[in-house]
Amino acid sequence: MRIGILGATGAVGRQMITSLEERQIVPEELRLFASERSAGKELNFFEKGIPLEVITKDRLLGLDYVLGAVSNPLAKEWGPVIQEAGGVFIDNSSAYRLDEDVPLVVPEVNGEDALNHHGIIANPNCSTIITMMAVSPIQKISPIKKMITSTYQAVSGAGIGGLNELTNQVNDIREGKELTSEIFPKQIAYNCIPLIGSLNENGYTTEEMKMQNEGRKILHNHMDVSCTCVRVPVYRSHAICVSLQCEKELGIEEVNEALDKAPGILHDSDHFPTPLETSNQDLVAVGRIRKDLVFDGGISLWCCGDQIRKGAATNAIQILEYLLAH
Amino acid sequence: MRIGILGATGAVGRQMITSLEERQIVPEELRLFASERSAGKELNFFEKGIPLEVITKDRLLGLDYVLGAVSNPLAKEWGPVIQEAGGVFIDNSSAYRLDEDVPLVVPEVNGEDALNHHGIIANPNCSTIITMMAVSPIQKISPIKKMITSTYQAVSGAGIGGLNELTNQVNDIREGKELTSEIFPKQIAYNCIPLIGSLNENGYTTEEMKMQNEGRKILHNHMDVSCTCVRVPVYRSHAICVSLQCEKELGIEEVNEALDKAPGILHDSDHFPTPLETSNQDLVAVGRIRKDLVFDGGISLWCCGDQIRKGAATNAIQILEYLLAH
């Protein structure tokens, strides 16, 4: 088995390398692709230096799986080339997520969809993955009809630049210097920014619409989702506040039981998990489960997960594992 | 006119002094009450030192208005004494808020309720004040039936101790020291904590239930409110994400018009206000107004306001102004 990683030097690309190591996936060959700036440098994989290469059509030949951690335009450019070269592209961008012939997969939720691929499998949006992990055990009790969500999204969702911007701003404030905001539209240090992505005509951002559009595709339902995405000054792990209503009335006990049994979920009904506690690990923590006071027979909950790991890199590696196992 | 401030040295008490100055309310006498620790010290009012006194029954005599910025037990202890001494107690604690004969007032929303007092008027919960400011212009179009809210609450909601805990933790992280959390149940620096107040049997916190219980009393309606309260690493200003449904279907334009005309509201329909921008001023900013995707004919919005000012001290001073004007 030969694996390639597209965008190996970014936050998600580096995590993909680490997740391969942690999960003991040892390909015959690992090829790491990055921009020209990084060409000639190396990244370690199982303590061996792997050169960073600029991607070419030739260097994609022979790869069985290519993990994508690049922007939409690059994913659009190289996806068809990978397909043609006979590889499977597991792509973390949003370029293909809603394409009809591209499965959109969270392995614990709809792993079987991955098997119907035609050379490209899409990794969902980070907040969507974490939320779907938390609500899919409930969807198995009764189909979800309505969901209102608001997010508390970490700066690393914007990559390494987002992490640095938070650190730099905190330092600049401490030193009384003037701040600059380049990655985020306003100061993120000690602030919350209710705008992630760009605004659609309906007043929702691209990021907010993913929760409904991708959520429906993953759960195979037609739920209505109203979402507000907010950036918060947290380094890693997104948190999401969820109010939902299913077709049938839910009991707290059956919801707790379903979550206890669900793979990939850390659940303690008395618990109030935080982003910090769920950083740098692969589980999604769910807590604050209670009867919703607006939705008849509905549920309110709070969930958190590391969005570089389960929200991106680990989920992609799990898709790979699923393909290998089936 | 003689005014007293109970709890003058806390974050809210100090802001009450500043707000009196800013709004040019000049009493014949201002008496400042604090704990024994502060006795003998002074705080400035219009550049004149006012001694901090320990409260006694005698020292309450002759005061026309007493502004309360103390805990529930102290408010419970001194409220009846102030009443008996012939003063009006404008109390920021939650001790009296749901009492039938105590008005619960946001002057721009239900100022007229203040006139029916029997010696005690309650200042609502901070997140509730900010949210009611944002939604009451909509309630005037059509009564609100359902509201799902999640909060992004600043550390100063927990007083000066909360401010210090965030600063100390950020510094300790920078210096590689071990952290301590005394005010908040978990680390707040670079984290979000979905638990404010204590848990009720229904799984909601005391803080979360205020949005429904106090909201109903302020708006004189019987709306259902499901709320999740979350502490975020922001110094001042709370933000609240709101999805709501009224009796009749709402149009975006009429909502925007209503907010444009509403007193105390900073509204720009294209805007995404942040806690930082609304810190240390008295308006409530509303933005991200759009059709809710779950509630038929409903609205989604985001609002922020300085919770020490409009969420506490300024609102209390505005109640005083309302009484003086009527």
pLDDT given for residue A147 in this prediction: 98
Instruction: Give CATH for domain A128-308.
Output: 3.30.360.10
Sign of the CA dihedral with B64 first, then B70, B76, and B77 last? negative
Q: Nearest to residue B152, comparing CAs of A271, A233, A187, A163?
A: A233
Chain A nearest-CA distance from B97, in A, is 21
Rounded to the nearest angstrom, the minimum Cα separation between B84 and chain A is 40
Chain B nearest-CA residue for A288: B203
B215 close to A (CB below 8 A): no
Flag whether the pTM goes above 0.90: yes
* B244 contacts chain A (CB < 8 A): no
| Residues of A annotated as catalytic (active site), given as ranges | 126, 238
DSSP letter string, B108-147: HHHGGGGGG-SSEEEPPPHHHHHHHHHHHHHHTTS-EEEE
The minimum CA-CA distance between A232 and chain B, rounded to whole Å, is: 8
Residue numbers of B annotated as active site: 126, 238
Q: Is A292 on the interface with B (CB under 8 A)?
A: yes
* B228 interfaces chain A, CB cutoff of 8 Å: yes
pLDDT number for residue B270: 67
Asked whether B266 and B246 are in contact (CB, 8 A), the reply is: no
ipTM of the complex: 0.96
**β-pair partners for B202:** none
Q: Do A277 and B186 touch (CB under 8 A)?
A: yes
Express each pLDDT in A165-182 by its tens digit: 999 999 999 999 999 999
Q: Do B293 and A204 make contact, defined as CB atoms within 8 angstroms?
A: yes
Q: Does the beta-carbon distance from B192 to A152 stay under 8 Å?
A: yes
- CB of B38 less than 8 A from some CB of A: no
Residues A28-42 have pLDDT tens digits of 999 999 999 998 899
d(CA B87, nearest CA chain A) in Å: 39
Question: CATH 3.30.360.10 occupies which residues in chain A?
Answer: 128-308
SS3 B164: helix
- Tell whether A170 lies on the interface with B, counting CB pairs under 8 A: yes
A188 contacts on B by Cβ (under 8 Å): none
Per-residue pLDDT tens, chain B, 326 aa: give them.
Answer: 999 999 999 999 999 999 999 999 999 999 999 999 998 899 999 999 999 999 999 999 999 999 999 999 999 999 999 999 999 999 999 999 999 999 999 999 999 999 999 999 999 999 999 999 999 999 999 999 999 999 999 999 998 899 999 999 999 999 999 999 999 999 999 999 999 999 999 999 999 999 999 999 999 999 999 999 999 999 999 999 999 999 999 999 999 999 999 999 999 766 899 999 999 999 999 999 999 999 999 999 999 999 999 999 999 999 999 999 99
Chain B (43-102) residues lying within 8 Å, Cβ to Cβ, of chain A: none
Kindly list the residues from chain B whose CB atom is less than 8 angstroms away from the CB atom of residue A241: 150, 194, 228, 230
Residue A158 CB contacts under 8 Å (≥ 6 apart), including other chains: A165, A183, A184, A231
Query: Any CB–CB contact under 8 A between B170 and chain A?
Result: yes
> HSE-up of B293 (CA within 13 Å, CB side)?
24
CA distance A212 to A218: 10
Query: Taking CB atoms and an 8 Å cutoff, what residues of chain B touch A232?
Result: 152, 192, 232-233
Compare CB distances from A232 to B185, B192, B243 and report the shortest one's residue.
B192
Task: Determine whether the interchain pair B194/A241 forms a contact, defined as Cβ–Cβ distance below 8 Å.
Answer: yes
B70 CB neighbour count, 10 Å cutoff: 25
How far apart CA B277 and CA B285 sit, in angstroms, is 9
A195 to chain B, any CB pair closer than 8 A? The answer is: yes
Class of the CATH-defined domain B2-124+312-325? alpha beta
Q: Using an 8 Å Cβ cutoff, are A246 and A296 in contact? A: no
Q: Which residue, among B226, B229, B234, B278, would best test binding to A if mutated, counting the most A CBs under 10 Å from its CB?
A: B226
Interface test mutation site (partner B, options A294, A295, A300, A306, max chain B beta carbons within 10 A): A294
State the Cα–Cα distance between residues B117 and B224, nearest whole angstrom. 27
CB A189, CB A170: distance < 8 Å = yes
Best mutation site among B127, B148, B243 for testing chain A: the one with the most A CBs within 10 Å?
B148
* Burial category of B53 from C-beta neighbours within 10 Å (exposed 0-12, middle 13-18, buried 19 and up): middle
B170: nearest CB among A150, A170, A225: A170
Contact predicate A53/A59, CB 8 Å: yes
Return the closest-CA partner of residue B279 out of B315, B321, B235, B222. B235
Comparing CA positions, the residue from A309, A283, A237 lying closest to residue A16 is A309
Query: Which residues of chain A neighbour B174 with C-beta distances below 8 Å?
Result: 174
Residue A275 contacts B where some CB pair is shorter than 8 Å: yes
Measured between CA atoms, the residue of chain A closest to residue B196 is A272
Tokens of B324: 């003086």
Chain B nearest C-alpha distance from A326 (Å): 38
Nearest-CB residue to B274 (from A193, A235, A273) = A193
Residue A8 near residue A43 (C-beta atoms within 8 A): yes
Give the one of A190, A225, A272 whose C-beta lies nearest to B234's C-beta. A190
Q: Is the Cβ of A233 closer than 8 Å to some Cβ of chain B?
A: yes
Contact B288, B243 (CB under 8 A): no
Which residues belong to CATH 3.40.50.720 in chain B? Answer: 2-124+312-325
Residue ranges of chain A whose pLDDT lies below 70: 269-270
- pLDDT, residue B297, reads 97
B181: closest CA of chain A, how far (Å): 14
Quote the minimal CA–CA distance from A271 to chain B in Å: 10
**B191/A291 touch (CB, cutoff 8 Å), yes or no:** no
The reply to whether A2 touches chain B by the CB within 8 Å rule is: no
Name the closest residue on chain A to residue B226, using Cα atoms: A293
Nearest Cα residue in chain B from A200: B290
Q: Do A186 and B274 touch (CB under 8 A)?
A: yes
